[in-house]
Structure 1
Amino acid sequence: LAVATASASDYVVKSPSGALTLTVTHDKRGALAYSVCSGPVRIVDGGALGITTSRGDFTTGLGLVRQSRSVVDETYTLPVGKRSTYVNRANELTLSLRKAGQEMAVVLRAYDDGFAFRYVLPGTGAVEISAESTTFPLASREIDYWGQAHPNDYGYETPLGPIIADRISMPVLAELKEAKHFVLVAQAGSYQDYVIPHYERRGNVLALRFPMDQHEPVKTMLPLRSPWRFVLVSPGSMARIVESTMVENLNPPTEPSLASADWIRPGRASWDFVAGQGNKLGTWIDFDAEMGWEWHVADAGWERRVPYMAEVTAYGKARNVAIMAWGKVANRDFLFDPEKAEAWMARLEGLGVRGAKIDFFDQADTTGAKTDDLEDTQARLRVRDMLSETAERHHLMVEYHGCAIPSGERRRWPHVMSAEAVAGMERRSQNRIHDLTIPYVRNIMGPVSFTPIHLERSAGTRAYQLGQVVLYEAGIQIFSERYDRILGFEGVDFLKAVPSTWDD
């Protein structure tokens, strides 16, 4: 185990290969700060650690109670993702601290491709979290940033690219030019007991900020384990960032009921939203069968267009094609309500529908009004978690749209196939800079429902569009173009063969 104590107030943990060093300093004010080196190169310099809660302000005045060290070394498999077998290997340091009789711990991990930390509050009873002092001071005077300004539009649908904004949505990709390193700053394991933050940029410092629409403290129960704050570190190029599976590794293991679920079915899908002809599901199913695709997505208005859905799903089942049906969180289906969600998903199951595409987490519950970042709030994460668990009970795959960015939750819930959280092919105006940024920013966080292939809308050539099918990873890869156009497309044989899941 490659860990050590450098001095009375410094605590060091190294990655398994020793290439990355994470140092925590406990200063005379009782405050914690951290620094990170990749080999001899400083990457983060003096980042603040701390959390403000109703049980205490754990930003200063902290006394060390104990430290402990452990090794993370596990291998697991998932039916979805950029590879089939995942390796989670890191060295871990836990610092337990006390202030005014209340305890707080910081758990830190050093990986060969980056580092992560989280806050842990032991005990029982209710607790509120109002803020964090967490910062990421990037150790370079010249830094280029990529991402999207915050607040973004309609659930992360602002185009991605180079950015100079003072507030940036998660994640942030940065090139530290003097250090000759790339880093990606993000959060993993975002569940209903917390929020998804964004970053306020001051010079070279990224400060973590709670959502603008989170108008009250986070309210949850002890013990609390916050989401992981993590930074991927890649010297020279973005290769380690693109190849990393740290976002999945920092999530809980797969729920036991899902570990060997034979009803989880990744695949390829046709879609009738952009292409139209949603009243011809039989034709779509015949097309899917010819292509060897596993799914058709029946989008908004399917109940009106297809009153005979049970017959359609039976027809599809005979041809090995499943149906996914659309529903809305906010002011139409009111799926933010657990009883309504249960009834809706039970109805889908009864109709033989195998998947649920759930939309508009970004809209206000009863009015459907546009918001700043409602999808990132604790209230919306509670809805998403409830829907994921309800879908599991009814053996439904899930596709989220108009939603928060994923952060590795598919390890826990592998039936969650994908999430939009991107400006995709629904947009009539396409953007090459955005398209080329997706693999290095958005897709690092998990499956992306870009819905590729539209012969008129795309910003690139035919070959460019085929490349997007491979680069934009999703558990169910949904295609935008109409069936007859795909059958006449030069790349049709490639689309018949391309998988949606990968061994590596």
Structure 2
Amino acid sequence: MKKIQLLALLILTSLSALAQVAKSPNGKIVARWDKNKLVVCYDGKMMTEISDFGLQTSDEDLTSLTFVNIFDGKEFEVNYDMIEGKKSHISKKGHGYSMLFHNAEGKKVEVALQMFNDGIAFRYETRFARPTVVKDEQTRYLIADGTRRWIQKYTDAYEQFFPLATDGNDANTHWGYPALVEPQQDAFALFTEANIESEHSASSLDNAGQRDQYRVTLGRSDKQVSGKWHSPWRVVMLGTLKDIVASTLVTDVSKPCEILNTKWIKPGVVSWIYWAYNHGSNDYNIIKKYVDMAVTLHLPYVLIDAEWDEMKDGYTIEDALKYSLSKGVKPIIWYNSTTGWIDGAPGPKYRLNDPEKREKEFAWCEKMGVSGVKIDFFDGDTQATMEYCIDLLKSAAKHHLLVNFHGATIPRGWQRTFPNLVSTEGVYGAEWYNNRGDLTSRAAAHNATLPFTRNVVGPMDYTPCTFSDSQHPHITTDAHELALTILFESSLQHLADRPESYLEPKRKVEQALFGYLPTTWDDTRLLAGYPGEYVVMARRKGQKWFIAGINGKDEKQTLKIDLKALNLPAENYILVTDAGKGLDLKSQIVNTHDLPAAVECSARGGFLIIPQGM
């Protein structure tokens, strides 16, 4: 009898141990509960530990949770199409689990855990019997000292650099997503979140007190929730750099598209009025120059930026819109969200905050032929701001308006749920040549870091490709700048430079590219690269591949190009490289079979391989 009981105990112990391990469909990613921590491994290598599961609410103690077990769920499939982004169709498998916790009073809190071949996602799920406010979270990620990492300091607008570091920083303890780390050689983890809903605030990371423990910390919320509730998904992408760059985890776990008719959503390239003048959109004659540039370069859009409500010389915004439409160029106009920077900030202001005024304003936009709105200066990651952004997206969709959020938080999956969100700033971009001098010396390395960090999680309105100088000079080469239009994904790609720069007679290749440049992609592959040093990327539109690379260093560098996996069709390509002197570029027509296996780039240089016409 004792032998039978012992055997039964051993079987139960074995089953319990088995149930405490979660695996990705291909088995490469494993999450194992061990000593009050979820240990996450990739390819047999420990990548991070997730600990201190718990929530801080206004009237319930959910901070001291006791782990019960991991319950095996089932495999599932994710299949959906994207209008924008790095890939047009996503089809992949996942494996779902449920981690069960109890608080001191026996209340059940579940953590849904989804395992994919490119990472994991988890979220809290519980039920509140009475209204409560979710104040904060205590989930922590281990990022050990000595680990290479690229994380930006937290600011409301997510406009900071991603410098390489190897340990926590005592001078700063608040960090913004996404956070890229290399816990093991050639094995990376990228931390972010997804599926923010109207009752959520967004989160960031804080390692105050424990340098190697990065706590998920929530933005301010005063909203009461009750009944069934879940948090946003906490996302950890895992794998090689190629896996990280190609990952679609942020949209995989976000709500499906809520817009019934999306045929009116048309991505494209935009001429942007601001960078050259630091103003300009209150001047009708300057607006005309950018509309005319769009016509010459065959661009579908023009963006009329701030201060259009204060047009000079007797003109109005209606005059500018009529001129643009008469030339066949679709106008996009700017608004102040009137939640972040208000006093001293440009207008128009206070037109979108009230729902009735917003509907009236967007109805006017639709009537006047406006195709989209750029909305700027938001109040960080608060719940109120998240709800406001969602309301803006829904209202804009009713009036067939594209939306570009600036001075705003990074994308967290709304580009799937509301595909009229065509771009988001949330990046230290070319606009900063207007504001400070530090981008001049840091741009090359910064640009070679963004494809591995910020742009992984969603569209990025960097406003690239500046050949001339603004208030502060640039020292990246012309080939480097042109490569950014392919390396940086944004379904509205805003060209930042002045018309006379793009329209120089010597820029025939650049002008031709702008006319057929895709801004959304069917596939994206990292061919080679390392954050801050260099990047070589291939993006496909239809059957055509566009390849671009940049050198992030202040010295010459030869970039290898592995084209074997692309199966390029036999056709002519334009090979664009550094000219070898100054910042200029040179170009030549090359057949597929003669494409180089490597390109020597100047310091801060770049190259492109683009189809000869589309």
Aligned to 1:250: 253
Aligned to 1:34: 38
Of 498, 504, 522 in structure 2, the residue corresponding to residue 503 of structure 1 is 522
8 A Cα contact 1:172 1:185, kept in partner: yes
SS at match of 2:111: strand
Of 201, 208, 231 in structure 2, the residue corresponding to residue 195 of structure 1 is 201
Q: Distance in 2 between matches of 1:496 and 1:6?
A: 61
Q: Where in structure 2 are the equivalents of 1:382-421 lying within 5 Å?
A: 382-421=387-426
Query: What do the CA deviations read for 1:38-61 (whole angstroms, capped 9, x no partner)?
Result: 122111235332222246323335
1:176 aligns with 2:180: no
> 1:448/1:6 Cα in 2 relative to 1: closer, same or farther (>3 Å)?
farther
Q: Distance in 2 between matches of 1:57 and 1:46?
A: 20
Aligned to 2:449: 437
Aligned to 2:77: 73
8 A Cα contact 1:309 1:351, kept in partner: no
Aligned to 1:159: 161
SS at match of 1:385: helix
Question: In structure 1, what residue type is equivalent to 2:361?
Answer: W
SS at match of 2:153: coil
Query: What do the CA deviations read for 1:325-353 (whole angstroms, capped 9, x no partner)?
Result: 00001135123333332222222122211
Q: CA deviation at 1:300?
A: 0.8
1:185 aligns with 2:191: yes
SS at match of 1:82: coil
Q: Distance in 1 between matches of 2:18 and 2:374?
A: 51
Q: CA deviation at 1:141?
A: 5.4
Q: Distance in 1 between matches of 2:14 and 2:299?
A: 56
1:274 aligns with 2:275: yes
More deviation, 284-293/112-121: 284-293
Q: Unaligned regions of 5+ residues in structure 1, if any?
A: 363-374
Aligned to 1:487: 503
Q: Distance in 1 between matches of 2:275 and 2:128?
A: 51
Identity %: 27
Of 345, 348, 370 in structure 2, the residue corresponding to residue 353 of structure 1 is 370
> 1:220/1:459 Cα in 2 relative to 1: closer, same or farther (>3 Å)?
farther
> 1:288/1:148 Cα in 2 relative to 1: closer, same or farther (>3 Å)?
same
> 1:405/1:7 Cα in 2 relative to 1: closer, same or farther (>3 Å)?
same
Of 126, 146, 149 in structure 1, the residue corresponding to residue 150 of structure 2 is 146
Q: Distance in 1 between matches of 2:328 and 2:251?
A: 30
8 A Cα contact 2:88 2:522, kept in partner: yes
8 A Cα contact 2:206 2:216, kept in partner: yes
Q: Distance in 1 between matches of 2:365 and 2:114?
A: 42
Question: In structure 2, what residue type is equivalent to 1:14?
Answer: K
Aligned to 1:230: 235
Q: Distance in 2 between matches of 1:250 and 1:73?
A: 11
8 A Cα contact 1:195 1:218, kept in partner: no
Question: In structure 1, what residue type is equivalent to 2:213?
Answer: V
1:105 aligns with 2:118: no
Q: Distance in 2 between matches of 1:361 and 1:487?
A: 35
Aligned to 2:304: 298
Query: What do the CA deviations read for 1:230-266 (whole angstroms, capped 9, x no partner)?
Result: 111124xx211111111111110001xx244211111
Aligned residues: 473
Aligned to 1:467: 483
Q: Distance in 2 between matches of 1:487 and 1:336?
A: 40
Question: In structure 2, what residue type is equivalent to 1:250?
Answer: V
Q: Distance in 1 between matches of 2:92 and 2:157?
A: 30
Question: In structure 2, what residue type is equivalent to 1:403?
Answer: A
> 1:124/1:297 Cα in 2 relative to 1: closer, same or farther (>3 Å)?
farther
Query: What TM-score, normalized to structure 2?
Result: 0.72
8 A Cα contact 1:55 1:127, kept in partner: yes
Q: Distance in 2 between matches of 1:398 and 1:15?
A: 35
> 1:298/1:125 Cα in 2 relative to 1: closer, same or farther (>3 Å)?
farther
Q: CA deviation at 1:13?
A: 1.6
8 A Cα contact 2:78 2:94, kept in partner: no
Q: Distance in 2 between matches of 1:65 and 1:242?
A: 33
Q: Distance in 2 between matches of 1:46 and 1:6?
A: 23
8 A Cα contact 2:406 2:425, kept in partner: yes
More deviation, 347-356/280-289: 280-289
Q: Distance in 2 between matches of 1:392 and 1:183?
A: 35
> 1:482/1:5 Cα in 2 relative to 1: closer, same or farther (>3 Å)?
farther
Aligned to 1:324: 332
Question: In structure 2, what residue type is equivalent to 1:156?
Answer: Y
Q: Where in structure 2 are the equivalents of 1:80-119 lying within 5 Å?
A: 80-99=84-103, 100=105, 102-119=107-124
Between the two structures, name the one with larger relative contact order (CA 8 Å, sep ≥ 6).
1
1:11 aligns with 2:17: no
SS at match of 2:422: strand
More deviation, 311-320/272-281: 311-320
More deviation, 335-344/11-20: 335-344
Question: In structure 1, what residue type is equivalent to 2:449?
Answer: T
Aligned to 2:212: 204
> 1:207/1:97 Cα in 2 relative to 1: closer, same or farther (>3 Å)?
closer
Aligned to 2:61: 57
8 A Cα contact 1:5 1:11, kept in partner: no
SS at match of 1:170: strand
Question: In structure 1, what residue type is equivalent to 2:202?
Answer: I
Of 32, 36, 40 in structure 2, the residue corresponding to residue 23 of structure 1 is 32
Q: CA deviation at 1:312?
A: 4.5
Aligned to 2:589: none
Q: CA deviation at 1:168?
A: 1.6
Q: Distance in 2 between matches of 1:19 and 1:336?
A: 47
Of 277, 282, 290 in structure 2, the residue corresponding to residue 284 of structure 1 is 290
8 A Cα contact 2:298 2:514, kept in partner: no
Q: Distance in 2 between matches of 1:110 and 1:127?
A: 30
Q: CA deviation at 1:298?
A: 0.3
Q: CA deviation at 1:436?
A: 1.9
Query: What do the CA deviations read for 1:416-469 (whole angstroms, capped 9, x no partner)?
Result: 011111111111232222222211111112111110122224341000001111
Q: CA deviation at 1:113?
A: 1.1
Question: In structure 2, what residue type is equivalent to 1:207?
Answer: R
SS at match of 2:449: helix
Question: In structure 1, what residue type is equivalent to 2:216?
Answer: L
> 1:46/1:435 Cα in 2 relative to 1: closer, same or farther (>3 Å)?
closer
> 1:351/1:135 Cα in 2 relative to 1: closer, same or farther (>3 Å)?
same
> 1:223/1:402 Cα in 2 relative to 1: closer, same or farther (>3 Å)?
same
8 A Cα contact 1:242 1:439, kept in partner: yes
Q: CA deviation at 1:14?
A: 0.8
Q: CA deviation at 1:182?
A: 1.4
1:452 aligns with 2:460: no
Q: Unaligned regions of 5+ residues in structure 2, if any?
A: 1-12, 524-614
1:263 aligns with 2:264: yes
Question: In structure 2, what residue type is equivalent to 1:210?
Answer: L
Q: CA deviation at 1:198?
A: 1.9
Q: Distance in 2 between matches of 1:240 and 1:48?
A: 28
More deviation, 271-280/304-313: 304-313
